[in-house]
Amino acid sequence: MGISVTELEGIAFLPFIEQSALLSSELKNRFNITSKPQKLYGDLMYFEDRAEFEGKEPYWARTTMFKPFLLKFDSISDAVNHLKSIQRNWAPYLYTCFRRAELIQEKLPYINLKERQFPFSIPQSAMGLYTLIDEHTLIASAQTTSFLPAGLLKFKEDHENPPSRAYLKIQESLTMANLFYGVDFPHQGQKCFEAGACPGGWTWVLVNQGAEVFAVDRAELVPELMKNPLVKFLAHDAFTLKPEDIGNVDWVFSDVICYPERLLKWINEWMQSGKTKNMICTIKMQGEIDWPLINEFASIPDSKIIHLNYNKHELTWMWIHK
């Protein structure tokens, strides 16, 4: 038989790991999608009516299959040859038939599925996605929303030096800002302001890039950072300081636990001040997500909201002008 291809009329969303409930909630409460997925392939959600989702890009989907198809095949070579005939890059999402999927991936052109070393720039090449349903059937789409394999960015973790695991969040944020805006990573000669810096995970990343950091928090950073000549520390509530108190900086960062309303007010103060060109902030949800409020963040010109692999019940907002 060889192969049999069936073009599907639907769309499929792959949520971030352990974030399926948040994706479902977003589809319902942000987009008013009341229908349930017609098929579930592991965490992959397939909806039959693609038109219902036109123009909708959920934050909690790490990648989306725009034009999925079913491929029935006899042999691994049949599956590989058909995928290769469409495009070069294909990544797997695995939930069953793991060994068979590994064999398919081994025969496809090489893509790097390993953890990355920061700093890292994401190659802007089309990345297809496929998922084995059984040993002779897969669902796939060449058109997806992410250049990353299965929409996921993971870094090699340093278990000894960073003061907290929050450092992974700023590494991912800066990588995505580099992808979306083409902005360079913070570097020597640049000045950064970090609000709510304790214990210092984000500051640690920035000084390792050679940037100067004005870190503000009520509690001190870890001793190693307090002694670092690139770090200036002030014990203070960062959100009560005005941009004029800080002065001109290249970057403003915040991973502060606060109500989104307060963060939005603070962001607007900085943008209106003209004291910085680049901001990256974490929007931390307090209970149910206030979607009209999130839309206020999203409506800010030249800004972007994303969900990171290293985010949890939160989103990342960025505003970049190089």
pLDDT score for 287? 87
pLDDT above 70 covers a percentage of the chain that reads: 100
Q: Residue 294 has which token pair? A: 């999130």
Residue 224 lies in a domain: yes
Q: Is the pLDDT of residue 1 over 70?
A: no
- CATH of residue 220's domain is 3.40.50.150
Residue 156 lies in a domain: no
pLDDT score for 2? 81
Q: Do 172 and 137 lie in a common domain?
A: no
pLDDT score for 322? 73
Q: Is the pLDDT of residue 286 over 90?
A: no
Q: Is the pLDDT of residue 119 over 90?
A: yes
pLDDT score for 133? 97
Confidence of residue 245 (pLDDT cuts 50, 70, 90): very high
Q: Is the pLDDT of residue 45 over 80?
A: yes
Number of domains in the chain: 2
Q: Do 296 and 220 lie in a common domain?
A: yes
Residue 19 lies in a domain: yes
Q: Is the pLDDT of residue 228 over 70?
A: yes
Q: Do 232 and 296 lie in a common domain?
A: yes
pLDDT score for 284? 96
- Return d(Cα 167, Cα 162) in angstroms, integer: 7
Confidence of residue 105 (pLDDT cuts 50, 70, 90): very high
Asked whether the CA dihedral 209, 211, 214, 220 is positive or negative, the reply is: positive
Which candidate, 299, 300, 305, places its Cα nearest to that of 318?
305
Q: Residue 52 has which token pair? A: 């219902």
Which candidate, 14, 19, 12, 17, places its Cα nearest to that of 285?
19
Residue 132 lies in a domain: yes
- Return d(Cα 191, Cα 22) in angstroms, integer: 36
Beta bridge partners of 5: 71
Residue 157 lies in a domain: no
Q: Do 236 and 272 lie in a common domain?
A: yes
Q: Is the pLDDT of residue 174 over 70?
A: yes
Q: Residue 272 has which token pair? A: 């209106």
Q: Do 222 and 283 lie in a common domain?
A: yes
> ∠249-254-258 over CA atoms, to 5°?
140
Q: Do 227 and 315 lie in a common domain?
A: yes
What is the span of the domain harbouring residue 299? 167-320
56 and 29 Cβ atoms separated by less than 8 Å: no
Confidence of residue 25 (pLDDT cuts 50, 70, 90): very high
Residue 160 lies in a domain: no
- Return d(Cα 267, Cα 140) in angstroms, integer: 40
- Return d(Cα 201, Cα 180) in angstroms, integer: 23
Q: What's the mean pLDDT in 294-321?
A: 97
Give the chain's mean pLDDT: 96
pTM of the model: 0.96
Q: Do 196 and 52 lie in a common domain?
A: no
Q: Do 211 and 98 lie in a common domain?
A: no
pLDDT score for 69? 98
All residues at 6 or more sequence positions from 216 whose CB lies less than 8 Å from its CB, including other chains: 193, 194, 195, 196, 197, 233, 234, 235, 236, 238, 241
Q: Do 43 and 131 lie in a common domain?
A: yes
Residue 31 lies in a domain: yes
Q: Looking at the chain, how many residues does it have?
A: 322
Domain boundary among 126, 151, 176: 151
Q: Do 311 and 172 lie in a common domain?
A: yes
Residue 159 lies in a domain: no
Q: Do 307 and 255 lie in a common domain?
A: yes
Domain boundary among 151, 183, 206: 151
258 and 284 Cβ atoms separated by less than 8 Å: yes
Q: Do 136 and 227 lie in a common domain?
A: no
Domain boundary among 151, 175, 208: 151
Cis status, amide bond into 199, omega within 30 of 0:
yes
